[in-house]
Amino acid sequence: MILCTKFPRRQDYDNNRIAYNLNKSRQGIERNYFLRAAVTAHCMISLLVATAECALSECSRFRSLRTVAVVSIPSYGRIAFVRSTTTSTTKVIGRASSLFVMSRTHSSGASAGNSHADSGEKMAKLIPSTPSSLANAGARLRGDFRTSSKPSTLVSFPTETVYGLGANALSSDDCASIFAAKRRPLDDPLIVHVADASDAYALWAADDISLDALRVLAARFWPGPLTLVAPAAPCVPSIVTAGTGHVALRSPSHPVARALIRAAGVPLAAPSANRFGHVSPTRASHVLDDLGGEDVWVVDADDACGVGVESTVARVDGQTRIVTVLRHGAVAKREMQEALEEMTSAGGFVVESACRSAGGAVQGPVAVSPGQAVRHYAPDVTCYVVSRCAAAALMSSVEKSAPEILSRAVVIDYGGRLSALQPHCLAYRDLSENCQPKEAASCIFDTLRWSEEVEGADRVYLPEIILEEEENGRDDGGLLWAVRDRLTRAASGITISELQ
């Protein structure tokens, strides 16, 4: 890893062949800016690598590092350019006086906008979920098969939520390969997966009061779709925590995930196995679509990810006696509150929600949780949330509204809210006709991926879900909140009052 503050000017390298790709989450940034930042000569790169090496842990203090472009150089590989900024907006990207981190990846695989290798060769390897195969995958995660020509240890595996992209959580280098493969910004922390609660306590450095609450919640909800955040032990690399000093841990319930963690013998850092910002994967084929050009083993499991959306994330703070929900998932706030109230050792804790809205900024405790980008879980086609008022108006006047637009649109519905559009749109699916959050959550990512494959589609309309109207006093396990969050982020928080 190399810290660079200056880059060759564009005109010095006009004759070089550069294949560069912009991360889709940084749309609207001037392409010329990245060309000015490109180092294209192989000899220059080799010199920089030889003379200016920097450990990832030394870079972790720059809390606002963000991947903004990937440059592919023939015979060398890909270089990810990352800039340091004090704001989460893209307005400042383009200024010349910025600190960058240049990280070479060792495979010649896909760029951020293409899941296949530049040469067309797919480097990912699909493996079965047999005991012998998982034993080999565990050895790979430990680094037993690492060579100078094959440095990757990445293994993608199913959990009950989504497919994860796993690496040894105690190795900074191995975790760095996760960020490179996903084009993931370095300020987005990783969730660490353990087989048992006893393994988690060695990775936390929480006070006694926090540990009481952590033990209660782990005993009630682990293994399962709940991630618990607390101060990190010194053995946890700062790249895993994104420099926050807090580590997110969970114990998955999927039998393949549990078998793989035990086979590896190390905790596994594992975000979703997809391009950063793209729709999360719930099948092995989804992983291959996004990361087929990466050097990664993909465990092919017969049973799909049953929950279908990422885990609930909650931070435990013993000083304030507050458990803060940072991301909605299958475990509801009410369920956690009841568990804490039943145990006298963790009495006095209050569970609150601080999930970042799709239009808000990442700050405070929310910064220690992944999945907080404004545009996230998004298919490769523009999405809009249609407001409830607009949906009601369309029921009576859809034929006069915008039939031409609808002929190029895919509609993803929930409970028939946008059913009036079905006869006029290009394609239509309802996540749950009977408004069942569990059913909707189990197929939401598969449906979002389907929408980008519909030929001729240039937009996707999504329903607005008003939580207060839908709950009506019933408990849905938090999944309705999760479905609403994923749809909102897929549309970058954009809600429209008329079709466009």
Q: What pLDDT digit, counting tens, does each position of 372-404 carry?
A: 677 788 999 999 999 988 777 776 666 666 678
C-beta pairs of 450-453 under 8 Å, 24+ apart in sequence = 451/379, 451/381, 451/410, 451/412, 451/427, 452/279, 452/379, 452/380, 452/381
pLDDT of residue 365: 53
Contact 221, 334 (CB under 8 A): no
Compute CA 387 distance to the chain's CA centroid, rounded to the nearest angstrom: 26
Q: What is the mean pLDDT of the chain?
A: 77
Q: Lowest mean pLDDT: which of 53-57, 266-270, 483-487? A: 53-57
pLDDT of residue 466: 86
pLDDT of residue 57: 33
User: Residues with Cβ < 8 Å from 434, sequence gap 6 or more?
Assistant: 415
pLDDT of residue 498: 83
Count CA within 13 A, CB hemisphere, residue 378.
26
Q: Lowest mean pLDDT: which of 43-57, 112-126, 214-228, 332-346? A: 43-57
Over 80: is that where the pLDDT of 72 sits?
Answer: no
Q: How many CB atoms lie within 10 A of CB 300?
A: 18
Average pLDDT over residues 405-432: 94
Give how far Cα 87 sits from Cα of 62, 83, 91, 201, 304, Å.
12, 11, 9, 34, 38
pLDDT of residue 313: 96
Q: Extract the tokens encoding 399.
A: 């034929």
pLDDT of residue 356: 56
Q: Lowest mean pLDDT: which of 246-255, 371-380, 431-440? A: 371-380
pLDDT of residue 194: 98
Average pLDDT over residues 261-280: 97
Q: Extract the tokens encoding 196.
A: 């048992």
Over 50: is that where the pLDDT of 223 sits?
Answer: yes
User: Residues with Cβ < 8 Å from 53, sequence gap 6 or more?
Assistant: 1, 2
Please name each of the domains of the chain with its CATH number.
125-353 (3.90.870.10), 382-496 (no CATH)
The structure tokens 């990422």 sit at 310
Report yes or no on whether pTM surpasses 0.85.
no
Q: For the chain, how far is it from start to end, CA to CA, in angstroms?
A: 44
pLDDT band (50, 70, 90) for residue 226: very high
Alpha carbons 298 and 475: distance in angstroms, whole number: 36
pLDDT of residue 346: 64
Give the orientation angle of helix 437-453 with respect to helix 284-291, to 10 degrees: 40
pLDDT of residue 467: 79
**Per-residue model confidence as pLDDT tens digits over 168-185:** 999 999 999 999 999 999
Amino acid of residue 206: A
Average pLDDT over residues 363-378: 68
Over 50: is that where the pLDDT of 162 sits?
Answer: yes
pLDDT band (50, 70, 90) for residue 104: very low
Contact 477, 437 (CB under 8 A): yes
Contact 347, 321 (CB under 8 A): no
Q: Extract the tokens encoding 68.
A: 């903004």
Higher pLDDT, 94 or 329: 329
* Adjacent-strand bridge partners of 165: 156
- Nearest residue to 24 (alpha-carbon basis) of 379, 371, 412, 353: 379
pLDDT band (50, 70, 90) for residue 150: confident
The structure tokens 């060759």 sit at 8
Over 60: is that where the pLDDT of 113 sits?
Answer: no
**Per-residue model confidence as pLDDT tens digits over 317-343:** 999 999 999 999 999 999 999 999 987
Q: What percent of the chain has pLDDT over 90?
A: 59
Average pLDDT over residues 58-63: 33
